[in-house]
């Protein structure tokens, strides 16, 4: 269910050729020598998604493809690879550069279609592992964007971000600088916690269960609509335990104005 690209709900929020382009950004694994996922949203997010996936796969290259290059989607990504694989990005070839991902813009005709799977990933454990990578990558792309968009809408007080990025050196060290204003027990902030979960989970089921636990443990008034939008954008039904709209009033001061 995670194969969506331009037809995903999250695509409403991005410029992607009017929801038609499927592979503006393609995720390439040098070890497998195949693309394993695509999206058509912003490249900054693609890099962050690749960073999340770097817990599973080293050296991911996020390839920003030309509009007149081959188009493919998540169903066919693994049937495509780079024509020239020895591309340098920041001083090293993408084939053997770093654990952390790289981003590179590619000229037209950089992609070629290949009928056969990569030799070492034809069958056995590696074939299964590659299939699981594809599935998890698609899920991470959707979950990341759902979380990022929900954060954009509901984190109206990104205090830690302001303190770190815009007020560095001008905030007393003892000041509280919460990442968001949900007033739960979570210290990392909702979006950062979700990305952490995605980084360390093994599959979508595990990640979704851990995300559920996070919402449950931070069931405050200000997470009510936040989590509802997260699940809505992810196209996953709101878990039944959250359907009654109840929240923990011990974490709520009321509206005193």
Partner 1 sequence: MSIQLNETLYFSSINFNGVHNDFWTACYNETGDGGKFAIDLARRLNPNRYVTRDSSEWTNPWPQEIIPKYAMVPYDSSFKLNFSEVSDLKALDFKARINTKNERFAMMYSGGIDSTTMVVALLKNLTVEELKNVSICTSIPAIVENPVFWEKFIYGKFEIIDSMANKYHDLIVRGYTPVTADDGDCIFGTVFGIGLYHNWEVVANKAGFTESRKAEIRAIMPRFSDPEVHYTQFADLLTAYFGIPPDQKFPIVGQSAPNPKFGKLLYDKFARNAQTATVPINSLHDFFWWLIFNVKMLNCGVRGALYYNDHIEPERAIHTIENWYNDPLYQNWSMNNNNNGTKIGHTAATYKQAARDYIYEFDRNPWYRSFKLKLESMALNVVRQDIQLDSSMGRPTSRFGITKDYKLITLEQPDVQEYIRHHLNNFQITWSE
Binding site for partner 1 (CB under 8 A): 157, 159, 162-163, 166-167, 170-172, 174-178, 181-183, 221-222, 247, 249-257
Cβ 182 to partner 1, closest distance in Å?
8
CA angle 234, 238, 243 (to 5 degrees): 160
Q: Considering the complex, state which of residue 89 and residue 157 has its C-beta at the smaller distance from partner 1.
A: 157
Q: Considering the complex, state which of residue 118 and residue 183 has its C-beta at the smaller distance from partner 1.
A: 183
Cβ 159 to partner 1, closest distance in Å?
4
Q: Considering the complex, state which of residue 117 and residue 178 has its C-beta at the smaller distance from partner 1.
A: 178
CA angle 189, 133, 35 (to 5 degrees): 110
Cβ 253 to partner 1, closest distance in Å?
5
Cβ 154 to partner 1, closest distance in Å?
12
What 131-137 contacts at long range (C-beta under 8 Å, 24+ apart), as own/partner pairs, is 132/203, 133/29, 133/36, 133/53, 133/56, 133/57, 134/36, 134/37, 134/74, 134/77, 134/78, 135/2, 135/203, 135/204, 136/53, 136/56, 136/202, 136/203, 136/204, 137/27, 137/36, 137/37, 137/49, 137/53
Cβ 12 to partner 1, closest distance in Å?
24
Q: Considering the complex, state which of residue 240 and residue 257 has its C-beta at the smaller distance from partner 1.
A: 257
Cβ 186 to partner 1, closest distance in Å?
12
Q: Considering the complex, state which of residue 159 and residue 214 has its C-beta at the smaller distance from partner 1.
A: 159
Q: Considering the complex, state which of residue 66 and residue 228 has its C-beta at the smaller distance from partner 1.
A: 228
Burial 69-89 (b: 16+ CB within 10 A, else e): bbbbbbebbbebbbeeeebeb
């Amino acid at each position: 269910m995670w194969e969506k690209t331009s037809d995903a709900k999250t695509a409403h929020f991005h410029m992607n050729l009017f929801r038609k382009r499927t592979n503006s950004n393609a995720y390439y694994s040098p070890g497998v020598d195949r693309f394993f996922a695509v999206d058509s949203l912003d490249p900054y997010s693609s890099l962050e998604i690749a960073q999340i996936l770097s817990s599973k796969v080293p050296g991911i290259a996020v390839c920003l493809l030309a509009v007149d290059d081959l188009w493919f989607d998540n169903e066919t990504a693994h049937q495509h690879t780079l024509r020239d694989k020895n591309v340098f990005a920041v001083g090293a070839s993408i084939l053997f550069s770093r654990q952390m991902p790289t981003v590179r813009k590619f000229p037209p005709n950089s992609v070629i279609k290949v009928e056969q799977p990569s030799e070492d990933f034809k069958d056995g454990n590696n074939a299964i592992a590659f299939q699981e990578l594809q599935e998890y990558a698609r899920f991470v792309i959707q979950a990341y964007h759902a979380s990022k968009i929900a954060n954009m809408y509901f984190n109206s007080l990104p205090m830690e971000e302001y303190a770190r990025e815009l007020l560095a050196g001008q905030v007393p060290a003892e000041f509280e600088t919460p990442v968001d204003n949900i007033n739960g027990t979570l210290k990392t902030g909702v979006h950062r916690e979700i990305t952490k979960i995605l980084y360390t989970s093994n599959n979508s089921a595990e990640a979704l269960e851990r995300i559920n636990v996070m919402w449950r443990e931070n069931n405050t008034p200000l997470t009510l609509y936040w989590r509802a939008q997260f699940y809505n954008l992810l196209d996953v039904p709101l878990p039944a335990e959250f359907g009654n709209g109840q929240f923990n009033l011990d974490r709520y001061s009321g509206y005193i104005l």
